[in-house]
Each structure stands twice: as C-alpha cells, then as structure tokens.
Chains A and B, each alone.
Chain A
Amino acid sequence: MIAAYLLLLLPLSGIVFFAVLGHHPRVGRINIKFNAFALLMSLWLAIDVFQSGSIISPGQLFLIDSFNVYLIVLTAFVGLTTSIFSAPYMRHEQENGKLSNKRLKLYYSMYQGFMFAMYLVLTTNNMGILWVAMEAATLATVLLVSLYRTPESIEAAWKYFILCGVGIAQALFGTVLLYYAAIQIGDTENALNWTVLYENASQLNPEILEIAFVFMLIGYGTKIGLVPLHNWLPDAHSEGPTPMSAVLSGLLLNDALYAVVRNKMLVDGATQTHIAGHLMMGFGLLSFLVAAIFLHKQQDIKRLFSYSSIEHMGLMTFAFGIGTPFATFAALLHMMVHSLTKSAIFVTVGHAAQIAGTQRIEHIRGLIKTQPAVGWGLLIGTLAIAGFPPFGVFTSEFLVLLATMHSYPWLTPLLLLGIGLACAGLFRNIQPMVYGKQPEGQQLVPANLWPVIIHLVIVLWLGLSIPQSLAEWFNQATILISGSAPL
C-alpha cells in the first residue's frame, strides 16, 4: 500500500516542484526521473497484487486489484517513455522561440498534474472521487492544449474544455443516481465505494442503475471520444504539443474507458441483463466505423492519428460490451498494445512535424531520405497500428474478431469492413509522407527514438508470444471483469 501512496504523492510534489523550477535547463531529465520512480512504484504495487491479491487501503479510500494495477503499470510506463521523448522535443520548441520559460514551467507542472489525476482515477475506490479525478485530468491538460497560444490552439482548448466539461457533468448525474440507489440499501458514508457497491450489486435497484449507466456512458464516453461525442478529440490532439497528444491518446482515453467498465460491472450485477453491454457495443461499433471513414479525408498528420485513436477506442468499447471472457481478454490486450503503439507513433509524428516545419500531410514528404530513423519509425508504427501481423495489435484485433464470430456472427462483416477501411485510410496518407520526394528546406532534428523502439519491440513481442506471467495477469483481470477465465 505504501507504494500506492508514494505513487500519488510523487506527482503531487512534482506539480509544485516544476511550477517553481520548471525553467531550469536540465528540467527534462528531472521529469524523466520523477516518472521513472513512479514506474518503479507501480511495479512494486503490481508484484504485491500479483502475490497477495487485491489490496484495499485502511479507510477503503484506495483499491488496487488485478484490473487497475495493469493499467497503473501501463500509465507509468507510457508516462516515462513520453517524458524521455519530451525532454529534447520541448528544448527544441524552446530554442525555436515557440515557448517562454513561464510556459515551460506550466508544461512540466501540468505534466505531473495530469499523471497525478491518472493515478488517482485508477487507484481510487470511490466512484465520486473517480469523477473528480477525471475532471481534474481535463483541467490539467486544457491549458497544455493551448500552450502555443495560436488562435487554433485556443479554439481547440476551448472546445475541449466545454465539451468535456459538459459531457462529464452527465457522468456526475449518473454518479448521483448511483449513490441514490446505494443509500437505499446501506450506510451512507461508504455507499459510493466500489467494493461496497460491487458486493451488494444484486440488491441495487436495476431501473435506477440503467438510467445511471446511460448518463455515465455519455459522460465518460465523451472522454473516450465515442462518436457522436468525439468532436473535441482531433482538435485537442492536433493543436497541443506532441508529448501531450501521446499521453492523451495513450492514457486518458484508456482511463475513461476504465471508468465505464467499472460501472458496467455494477450495472450488470444489478440488472442481470446485458443492456449495458449492448449500449457499449452500439456506441463502440459506430465510433469504429465512422472514425475509419474519417481517416480518409484528413489533412493534418496529428488529426489522422487522433481519428485512428477514436477507431481503436471504439473497438475496445465494443469488445468490453460483448462481455464474454474471451472478448474481455482481447479488449485488455488491445488497450495495452494500442497505448504503446499510439504513443510511439505520436513520438515519431512529433519529430516528423519538426522536420517538415508543419503538420500538413501534403508538405511532409520523403522522411526516410531526410531522417531514416524517423521515417522507419513512422512506417513500422503505422504497420503495427493498422493491425498487420506479427504485431500485437493484430493479435488483439484477431481475438476481438473471433469473440464476435462466436457471440454475434452477423457483426463480423462490419468489423472487417472497418479494419479494411482504416488500413487503407492510414496508408494512402502515410505512404507518400514516408517515401515520396523530399522537398527543399527539411532539416534534421535532435531525436530520441528509444521510446519508439522500446514500445514497438514490446508490441512485436506481444504479437509473437504473450509471456506467461503477463497472460496470467490478464487472466486474473478477465476473471474479475467477466466472471470466468478465457483460457
């Protein structure tokens, strides 16, 4: 449990530390150290949970079980690798005069603020605090989206703020209804604790919980980027600094989905029907297909990959919605490989945009000739995210397909169509950027591509063979969520 407290205290102190000293030239490295320490803590926590099962803190404020501990490790890992990428990237931006010292302080301070909010979302046992932390994550990132202060970035940040704020207010109404259902059966102070709710789920009023879930799905779904509530996502991802796009895509979306899945577990327990799952399947499939179509008409490289994020989040929501152990296992795996691949892609995209001096797809050409490492990174990352074997995304998408064929065979063609559309949409844009003829005026940038290499190697490894211990871990989480083991 100490590990969990340290995990939360560390970024909290980081907020203050960087707010004061964030302009220091070596600050990027200090940020890496903060995140490396957080990763160590999360691994410690993971080993604890692996050996002795779920941990509940005294006072029931925090809950660590096999589902969230895996996301905590993933969050800490992506947080660390993104900070490794962000150090030279932000220095480059500063040297180009895009950022003042004050904004650099804001950036590093809020980076830690965002990490804190993410860890709080994952570790808390209280559904109310979960909401508070989710909103805090928006608040921490909204000023980072407008960090460059261009009219576009301010517009994107405003849209993000208003849409996510209003959206997530619906989730608070859902939480109020959940609390209302909960105090009918027991004590009031602990009634919002997930452990208490889960134990007594069968006694909760199913009709109230159904309404509550609709509100939760709309609320947290806005943050997941489910169509038709996705409008903020491409803007926020494309206008902010690239490290922010990487963590937003890789972490924030996952955590919002985590909130929905936690609520689904409660609703399923209360209603004993599959209504929550059907809602998730519908929204997920719609997002998946619409985003795959939108991939074709993008002109901005970051927007392109934001739509790819919507597509993959849709697929995960769909898979969690199916709800069979097999589908849940696939969704968990997909969450992990998508986070790793997408944050790796955003790292290379950031460098590509710095090389070309623009984010417009039509002006980025011939990356492999200018800076081969960046070009290859982008190409291999795109291969991985499009679901080519032998990468992990292929494995998880294949598992989702199998699970769909098993439970809802008539939906399989739609999934295949979406995967095909997305693949075509990505490659028609990526191919000329990577190969193409290199235009005048491209310049080499200092790039640290270790995060990309590490992420893609892990994704490749997961595609070739999932290590026994990790599979066991996923198994435990699947049993927790869906009630039985997939393997």
Chain B
Amino acid sequence: MELLEQDFYTQAILSLAALVGLTSFLMLGQGRLLRLIFVFAIQGLLLTLATALAGYSMNNTHLYISAAITLLLKVILIPWMLEKQVFKLNLHRDVEALNNKTAVMLGGASLVVFSYYVLHPVIQDTPLVLLNALAVGLSVVLLGMLLMISHRHAIAHVVGFMSIENGLFFAAIVSTRGMPMIVELGIAFDVLVAAILFGIFFLHISRSIDSLDVDQMNRLNEVDQ
C-alpha cells in the first residue's frame, strides 16, 4: 500500500504519528531540562494538530473542544509551570549526565518494535493507519517509562509521566476519535490536578533533600541499614 494513494487525512495522521514518536526519542536523549520541556510542548502541539485534524475530517465539534483543552494544558499550562519551577529552583543551567545513551536509544527502538508486535492481533480487520497509530501511542507510553528510568531528575520524571499521558491520548484520538466527552473532561481534570500536585512536590522534595535528584531518595527500602 503506497502512502501517496491514501487520502489526505490518513497521510497527515501517519506523518504526525511519526513526528510524535520522534519527539519521544528526542526527549529520551535530552539532558537539559529546559529543552526537555520544550520538546514536550512540541509533542503537545503535534497532539493538538492531530486532534483538530481528526475533528476536521469527521466534522466533529467535540474533537475541536478536546483539541483546545490539549493546547491549553499540554502546550501552554504544564510546560509553563514546569519552566517556572526550573527557574525558581535555579536548575536551568544544569545538564544531566545520561549514562548509556546508546543503550537507552537502542532500548527505545526495540520498545517500538515490541509495541507493533503486541498490537499485531488487532491488524486483521482494521485499516493500516490504525495499527500504526495505536502502535505509536503504545510506544510513546513505553518510551515515557524508559525516560523515567534513564533520567534521575524529578522534573524529567514528570515530563515522562505527562508524555505517557500524551501517548494514550494520541492512541485514543486516532483509533476511536477520542473518548466520550465526559471521560475526556475527567481525564483532563486529573492531569491538571496531577500537574499542580507535582509542583507542590518539587518544593517539598527540594526542601527536604536539598536537590531534585531522585537517587537521593533512598531512605525507604527492605534492606536493613
């Protein structure tokens, strides 16, 4: 099946899926917090575009609303809040030394392959665009987890957490034209509250251990001290 034979919507969604996947990889290798947040905002923007595009092709107002919510939350509000925290805690010059960058990237690539493998049973009776979108959604989720494992900084963890949410949202938009409105509003509310709580936590953590390096949080474990 040639890409150029598809209609405009399919082509656009496939390209957006590729770009969303790419931003996840960019985040994976990024040691500077401000750039990490910037790439996260770009991912949110791509998500907004995908949602609006789906709304346009379906002529569906509800998708426009969720595009607006995404724009507000994921592109403007959350990146802005995170950036403010970075400046407030004076972290904008820090560069995190990432160990095993190559191994992490290769791991990320194998996660993408794994996502396609897991979702293979879905393929039989569905168009190709769906398989790709769901697989990219799942790989963004898994890459978000990998981001949290490979980075040691609490703010990077939050970016990973939110990008997991992005992956889920992308899968929902493309495969099912979004969730029912009430569910989507609920999810947006949860994300917003989570973002605020994370802000509170940064303050508490930096007060209690004097840094946001999660490796320093090691008081609770099963091993006898």
- Enumerate chain A interface residues (CB-CB to B < 8 A): 126, 128-129, 131-133, 135-136, 139, 142-143, 146, 149-152, 154-159, 161-162, 165-166, 169-170, 172-173, 175-177, 179-180, 183, 188-192, 205, 207-208, 210-211, 235, 239, 294, 297, 299
Which residues from 195 to 212 on chain B have a C-beta closer than 8 Å to any C-beta of chain A? 197-198, 200-201, 204-205, 208-209
19 other contacts beyond A179-B176, A211-B118, with CB at 8 A cut-off?
Answer: A129-B182, A132-B183, A135-B190, A136-B190, A149-B204, A151-B209, A151-B217, A154-B209, A158-B205, A158-B217, A169-B141, A169-B165, A173-B138, A180-B176, A192-B180, A205-B125, A208-B121, A210-B121, A294-B222
- Cβ–Cβ contact A173 & B171, under 8 A: yes
Q: 14 interchain pairs (CB within 8 A)?
A: A128-B183, A133-B186, A139-B197, A151-B208, A154-B208, A155-B219, A159-B217, A166-B161, A169-B168, A175-B179, A176-B175, A176-B179, A183-B176, A210-B121
**Complex Cα distance A380/B201, Å?**
39
Nearest-CB distance from B221 to chain A (Å)? 9
- A-B Cβ contacts below 8 A, count: 129
| Of A133, A151, A166, A191, the contact of B164 (CB 8 Å cutoff) | A166
For B145, list chain A residues within 8 Å (CB). Answer: 166
Contacts A128-B186, A158-B201, A161-B197 given; does A179 touch B172 at CB 8 Å: yes
The dominant DSSP class at the A interface is: helix
| Of B176, B182, B200, B220, the contact of A176 (CB 8 Å cutoff) | B176
For B74, list chain A residues within 8 Å (CB). Answer: none
**Complex Cα distance A150/B214, Å?**
16
For B183, list chain A residues within 8 Å (CB). Answer: 126, 128-129, 131-132, 192
For A128, list chain B residues within 8 Å (CB). Answer: 179-180, 182-183, 186-187
Smallest Cβ-Cβ distance to B165: which chain A residue = A169
B151 located at the interface, meaning its Cβ lies under 8 Å from any Cβ of chain A in the complex: no
Nearest-CB distance from A121 to chain B (Å)? 12
Contacts A128-B186, A139-B190, A155-B217 given; does A176 touch B171 at CB 8 Å: yes
Smallest Cβ-Cβ distance to B123: which chain A residue = A207
Query: How many interface residues does chain B have, given as a range?
Result: 35 or more
B194 located at the interface, meaning its Cβ lies under 8 Å from any Cβ of chain A in the complex: yes
For A161, list chain B residues within 8 Å (CB). Answer: 194, 197-198, 201
**Complex Cα distance A440/B24, Å?**
58
Would you give the 0/1 interface string for B19-52, flagging 1 where the beta carbon is closer than 8 Å to chain A?
0000000000000000000000000000000000
| Of B138, B161, B209, the contact of A162 (CB 8 Å cutoff) | B161
- Cβ–Cβ contact A159 & B220, under 8 A: yes
**Complex Cα distance A142/B187, Å?**
17
Nearest-CB distance from B60 to chain A (Å)? 10
For A235, list chain B residues within 8 Å (CB). Answer: 220
**Complex Cα distance A117/B210, Å?**
34
Nearest-CB distance from B138 to chain A (Å)? 7
| Of B119, B217, B220, B224, the contact of A211 (CB 8 Å cutoff) | B119
Nearest-CB distance from B118 to chain A (Å)? 7
For B204, list chain A residues within 8 Å (CB). Answer: 146, 149, 154
**Complex Cα distance A374/B49, Å?**
61
B148 located at the interface, meaning its Cβ lies under 8 Å from any Cβ of chain A in the complex: yes
Contacts A179-B172, A180-B175 given; does A132 touch B209 at CB 8 Å: no
Report the 6 A-B pairs with minimum CB-CB distance, sorted nearest first.
Answer: A128-B183, A132-B186, A207-B121, A155-B217, A151-B208, A135-B190
- Cβ–Cβ contact B190 & A132, under 8 A: yes
Nearest-CB distance from B196 to chain A (Å)? 9
Nearest-CB distance from B189 to chain A (Å)? 7
- Cβ–Cβ contact A176 & B186, under 8 A: no
- Cβ–Cβ contact B219 & A152, under 8 A: yes
- Cβ–Cβ contact B190 & A162, under 8 A: no
Contacts A139-B194, A173-B171 given; does A165 touch B122 at CB 8 Å: no
B113 located at the interface, meaning its Cβ lies under 8 Å from any Cβ of chain A in the complex: no
- Cβ–Cβ contact B122 & A211, under 8 A: yes
**Complex Cα distance A268/B137, Å?**
26
